[in-house]
Amino acid sequence: MTRADLASYLGTTPETISRRLSVLEDQGVIQQLTNKQIKILDMNGLLLI
């Protein structure tokens, strides 16, 4: 799923998705692998959101 697809599904913009994913990556919760893939590094941290 692309950021644009995710944004459409969630009713937001691709820019917002990109910013939020960057925050999660900075916090060590995820790692962005490609435009369509992320790797969850901290499942507990993700569940706390």
What pLDDT was estimated at residue 35? 85
What pLDDT was estimated at residue 19? 97
- Taking residue 41's Cβ as centre, other Cβ atoms within 10 Å add up to 14
Q: Rounded to 10 degrees, what is the CA torsion of 3, 43, 30, 24? A: 80
For the stretch 13-45, pLDDT in tens is 999 999 999 999 999 999 999 989 999 999 999
**Overall domain count for the chain:** 1
| Residue 42 domain boundaries | 3-47
CA 13 to chain centre: 13
- Taking residue 16's Cβ as centre, other Cβ atoms within 10 Å add up to 13
